[in-house]
Amino acid sequence: MTLFGDPYVWLPLVFASLMGLSILIYVVLDGFDLGVGILFPFAAPAEKDRMIASIGPFWDGNETWLVLAIGLLLVAFPVAHGTILTALYLPVTLMLIGLILRGVAFEFRAKAPPDHKRYWNLAFFVGSLITALTQGFMLGMYIMGLVFTPASLAFAVLTALCLAAGYGFIGSAWLMIKTDDALQLKAVRWARRALWGVVGGLGAVSLASPLVSPRIFDKWFSFPELFLLAPFPILSAAILVLVWLALRHLPDSRDRWTWIPFAGATALFALAFFGLAYSFYPYVVPERLTIYEAASAPESLLIMLVGALFVLPAIIGYTALSYVVFRGKATALRYD
């Protein structure tokens, strides 16, 4: 029987790929609107309305990808879902509180009296920051094998701070595309500072992942894998240099190159994601459960795959449509 003829092999792999794709898209799309919220304290009051307008048509749709990823984990790998969420119960709860807080603040700040608006602005910032920090913390704990030791907790705190900086960077990159004048200039300055957080996060994850287990170390530093995987760090370094050079020459008077930092951040997130996927495959719970051990029955997965073939194109379609319809610079925030 061939590899793709055995449903016990290819169905778990398909669902793991769909779940990974959903997480990657979420990190990029919801990452930039979380980043915009993290940058709120550094903006003037009028600029905050423009920042909200830049993410207004997209932020709630972006969160669909998180729901999809968790849903796929639950239905396709229920044992792993229980193990991961049990280990990360507290940060997951805090993340949900952050998402709720920023969602409520997003709506209420538009209708609040002027003297109350600053409190909702603060709530939007706090909700965005909590969400980013908890997601970074969970990433760090996952990389460390969901083992709570002083070393793993310290690493998780580091990844939390770096992911928040990474979201701040991609949020700044989004504002470069969607705004102009003084706010665009501020976004360039914010991005220059936040880029160091991206570098720190990539470096920390890249150094820690091979040290978690001898298996991962061998996957990266054995021969010929060492040479075959060399393009990953080389390409990442080249993208970082390109983004840094672009930031030195932005803002551009003709607005031709403002897309480079956002594209660079997306590429860096994608490379980091594929590096982690390669490191941990075939495990869905590091060093404990493989995707094949944790998967639901093939009959169940096949039925769910049919549903996913309808749901996934619909989500991709309306997401793409929203970005096409609301392309261009963000205009003044209006609710009439």
| Range name among 71-80, 126-135, 322-331 with the lowest pLDDT average | 322-331
| DSSP of 8-40 | HHHHHHHHHHHHHHHHHHHHHHHHHHHHHHHTG
Longest dimension (CA), the chain: 70
Structure tokens, 314: 């619909």
The pLDDT value given to residue 101: 93
Q: Model confidence over 79-115: pLDDT tens digits?
A: 999 899 899 999 999 999 999 999 899 888 878 788 8
Right CATH number for 10-325 from 1.20.1630, 3.40.50, 1.10.3470, 2.40.70?
A: 1.20.1630
Judge whether residue 134 has pLDDT over 90. Answer: yes
Q: Judge residue 271's burial from the number of C-beta atoms within 10 Å of its C-beta, 0-12 exposed, 13-18 middle, 19 or more buried.
A: middle
Q: Where are the domains of the chain?
A: 10-325
Strand-pair category, 283-285 with 289-290: antiparallel
Q: Which long-range contacts (CB under 8 A, 24 or more apart) does 227-236 make?
A: 229/278, 232/271, 232/274, 232/275, 233/206, 235/271, 236/202, 236/268, 236/271, 236/272
Quick one: what percent of the chain has pLDDT higher than 70?
Answer: 97
The mean pLDDT of 259-271, rounded to a whole number, is 93
Q: Model confidence over 37-73: pLDDT tens digits?
A: 999 999 888 889 899 989 988 888 888 899 899 999 9
Dist CA 11 CA 176 (whole Å): 41
pLDDT band at 168 (very low <50, low <70, confident <90, very high): very high
What is the pTM assigned to this prediction? 0.91
Dist CA 204 CA 152 (whole Å): 12
Dist CA 186 CA 79 (whole Å): 46
Cα R_g (the chain), whole angstroms: 21
- Cα 260 versus chain centre, distance: 18
Q: Where are the beta strands (DSSP E) in the chain?
A: 283-285, 289-290
Structure tokens, 289: 């459960």
Mean pLDDT over the full length of the chain: 88
Dist CA 287 CA 284 (whole Å): 8
Instruction: Determine the residue type at 260.
Output: I
Q: What are phi and psi of 112, to 5 degrees?
A: -70, 150
Q: Model confidence over 196-252: pLDDT tens digits?
A: 888 888 888 888 888 887 888 888 888 887 888 888 889 999 999 999 999 988 877
Dist CA 156 CA 205 (whole Å): 10
